Structure 1
Amino acid sequence: MATTASTTSIASVTLEVADPEAAHRFYTAFGVNTHIRLRASEAPSTGFRGFTLALTVSRPATVDSFLDAAVDAGATVLKPAAKSLWGYGGVVQAPDGTIWKVATSAKKDMGPATREIDEIVLLLGVEDVKATKQFYVGRGLTVARSFGGKYTEFTSDESSPVKLALYKRRSLAKDLGVAADGTGSHRIVLGSTAVPLTDPDGFAWEAATSLTSASSTESALS
């Protein structure tokens, strides 16, 4: 029997990094340290890791504020902030390799920059959006929006820090300005109150209860 949507929403996002202390300094400066956990890992990973974390904010000035903070802390610019048909945004890669996108649907500033995040979306780059969507629906997630085999977004409850969405892997890589090829670990683990699982593209979920017994390093940095 499928679990309910509330039990399968994302309870935590853990990034696996080579140097947790350095990553903690970066994410604190970036302004997202309260939204993620960090865990030491030397798991081999090359090229595109198959996901991005996207911040939605209120106005272009706030996009610039977050991107500038990331670059000042050591991030690499993959796509400079620019206007587009859908709004304004840019893409950076953290020193640990995680790719972050910061964007707004607004094209003009209606006030000064803030450090407020309206929404965080974890976009998983998958080979078959329809198949992976059905995998998650079968485990209790509810589809909020879906565009055929191109994109799917799931609903999330108020307790979830991050919304989950699926995108074609090659399309996501193109949007981020990187090559789609990559091997090894995704270097990300999702926590929920559901049973541990691994999805068709190798993204791992673990029971959130297991995070209470996390290492002292992870606990101190999260």
Structure 2
Amino acid sequence: MASIETVTLEVADPTAADRFHTAAFGLGGQVRLRASEAPTTGFRGFTLSLVVSQPADVDSLVGTAVDAGATTLKPATRSLWGYGGVVQAPDGTIWQVASSSKKDTGPATRRIDEIVLLLGVEDVKASRQFYVDRGLAVAKGFGGKYVEFATGSGPVKLALYKRRALAKVAGVSPDGTGSHRIVIGGGAGPFTDPDGFAWEAASPALTN
């Protein structure tokens, strides 16, 4: 089964971006940084989601992200599916922080249960088949709207969503041009998918 070992964010200032991600989320080697000046404007076509166990953890992570310089795109609030908020890092990456629970069961632990990479694609069915052909197994899907892949023991999960729908969830305009400024490291690579997302062969994750 193909898995995602790392995601690499291409940023103008890796030192500043590392300082943000450490202060905001305490992330380890699953998210890497690489210097890039590749032109990009508007929505870059993806979000990264941090899935946690309860609202207190959402509030804690969103709070430290804002304190570290993030912009609030959607304040943390309850919804039909749970509790969550959306912020944009100074490097432009959009982060969703969410919990399926609407009630706290204890104090915040800031433990991240899952990291999910959501790719906004033009044709979910076509992209789904593209990834299946490269060894990814579908875990769940909702027609041409959403697909989630089974990524085994890999630290990052992958899902596909319609680009416009993902932008709406993130609270931004779907318009955007240029580089996605993200590279996915996994056993299925190297290749570039139909929407221009680049994969490379996985290398061992770094640890702090």
Q: TM-score, normalised by structure 2?
A: 0.96
Change in Cα spacing, 1:195 to 1:78, as seen in structure 2 (3 Å) is closer
Change in Cα spacing, 1:55 to 1:195, as seen in structure 2 (3 Å) is closer
**Alignment partner for residue 137 of structure 2, among 142, 150, 153?**
142
Where does the alignment leave 5 or more consecutive residues of structure 1 unmatched? 213-218
Identity over aligned pairs, percent: 71
* Residue 67 of structure 1 pairs with residue 62 of structure 2: yes
Letter in 1 for 2:7: V
**Alignment partner for residue 103 of structure 2, among 81, 102, 108?**
108
Letter in 1 for 2:13: D
Which residue number corresponds to residue 22 of structure 2?
A: 28
Which residue number corresponds to residue 19 of structure 1?
A: 13
How many residues of Structure 1 are paired with residues of Structure 2 in the alignment?
A: 207
- Structure 2: distance between partners of 1:43 and 1:63: 32
Give the conservation status (yes or no) of the 8 Å contact 2:135–2:188: no
* Residue 186 of structure 1 pairs with residue 183 of structure 2: no
Summarize deviations over 1:50-102 as a string: whole Å, max 9, x none.
00000110110100000000000000000000111111100000000000000
Change in Cα spacing, 1:180 to 1:106, as seen in structure 2 (3 Å) is same
* Residue 198 of structure 1 pairs with residue 183 of structure 2: no
- Structure 2: distance between partners of 1:165 and 1:73: 28
Which residue number corresponds to residue 44 of structure 2?
A: 49
- Structure 1: distance between partners of 2:32 and 2:84: 25
Which residue number corresponds to residue 170 of structure 1?
A: 164
Aligned-partner SS, 2:4: coil
Where does the alignment leave 5 or more consecutive residues of structure 2 unmatched? none
Cα RMSD of the aligned pairs, angstroms, is 1.5
- Structure 2: distance between partners of 1:63 and 1:78: 14
Structure 1 residue 103: deviation in Å?
0.6
Letter in 1 for 2:131: Y
Summarize deviations over 1:91-129 as a string: whole Å, max 9, x none.
000000000000111111110011101111100000000
Structure number with higher strand proportion: 2
